[in-house]
């Protein structure tokens, strides 16, 4: 059986190397993070800085209005349990740094580790990915601190879902 990875995630064709370097530098510059979800830490980034580092995100903002940008910090030996987001329909992520971590997506019909084979996102450096957060997914961080850049949209899952954003990105030749 061939798995269509595009239903889980899709890489976005914008230049993000400068953004990746800048966001990681800010992420490591201090520990001014806010606890989120009981264990993970988040730091908001200045939107003007992000757009100057990655002008391609302005095109994304024309498709779906962006609310904010942040960096998530995940300590070693943690698992972000299998879940479906309860407020977001879609996000854009870019892995900034890790030693040994995995992001896994599961079919909604086999949404449990051990039930069916997961689709693993093998992050490419300096690459933004559109994520379908309405499909079961999890993150395992086995070693080292994991830093993730994230784009959060203004609309929630009641009005903004993955297929709509994916179609808009395709129309703009960004996927």
CATH architecture, domain 5-171: Sandwich (2.60)
Q: Which residue has the tokens 């030996």?
A: 77
Which one, of 46, 83, 85, 76, lies nearest residue 147 by Cα?
A: 76
Could you tell me the two tokens for 82? 């299998």
Could you tell me the two tokens for 6? 């595009």
What distance in Å separates the CA atoms of residue 99 and residue 144, rounded to the nearest whole number?
5
Phi, psi of 78 (to 5 degrees): -125, 155
The pLDDT of residue 36 is 63
The pLDDT of residue 4 is 72
Query: So where are the chain's domains?
Result: 5-171
The pLDDT of residue 2 is 44
- Give the pLDDT of the chain (175 residues) as one tens digit per residue: 445 778 999 999 999 999 999 999 998 987 777 766 655 677 889 999 999 999 999 999 999 999 999 998 888 998 888 888 889 999 999 999 999 999 999 887 765 555 668 899 999 999 999 999 999 999 999 999 999 999 999 999 999 999 999 999 999 999 9
What distance in Å separates the CA atoms of residue 169 and residue 63, rounded to the nearest whole number?
7
Which one, of 10, 29, 4, lies nearest residue 127 by Cα?
A: 10
Which one, of 12, 39, 9, lies nearest residue 118 by Cα?
A: 9
Strands (E), the chain: 9-12, 34-36, 40-45, 66-74, 78-83, 90-97, 100-105, 119-121, 128-132, 137-143, 146-153
Q: Which residues of 80-116 are buried (b: 16+ CB within 10 A; e: fewer)?
A: bebeebeebbbbbbbbbbbeebbbbbbbeeebeeeee
CB atoms within 10 A of CB 135: 18
What distance in Å separates the CA atoms of residue 146 and residue 97, rounded to the nearest whole number?
6
């Amino acid at each position: 059986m061939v798995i269509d990875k595009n239903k889980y995630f899709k890489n976005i064709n914008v230049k993000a190397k400068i953004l990746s370097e800048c966001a990681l530098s800010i992420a490591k510059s201090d520990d001014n993070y806010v606890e989120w979800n009981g264990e993970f830490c988040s730091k908001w980034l200045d939107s003007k800085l992000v757009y100057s580092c990655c002008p391609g995100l302005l095109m994304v903002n024309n498709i779906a209005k962006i609310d904010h940008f942040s960096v998530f910090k995940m300590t070693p030996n943690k698992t972000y349990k299998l879940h479906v987001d309860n407020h977001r329909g879609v996000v854009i992520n870019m892995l900034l740094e890790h030693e040994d971590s995995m992001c896994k997506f599961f079919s909604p019909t086999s949404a449990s580790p051990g039930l069916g084979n997961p689709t693993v996102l093998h992050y490419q450096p300096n690459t933004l990915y559109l994520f379908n957060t309405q499909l079961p997914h999890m993150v395992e961080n086995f070693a080292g601190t994991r830093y993730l850049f994230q784009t959060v949209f203004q609309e929630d899952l009641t009005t903004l879902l993955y297929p709509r954003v994916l179609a808009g990105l395709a129309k703009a030749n960004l996927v």
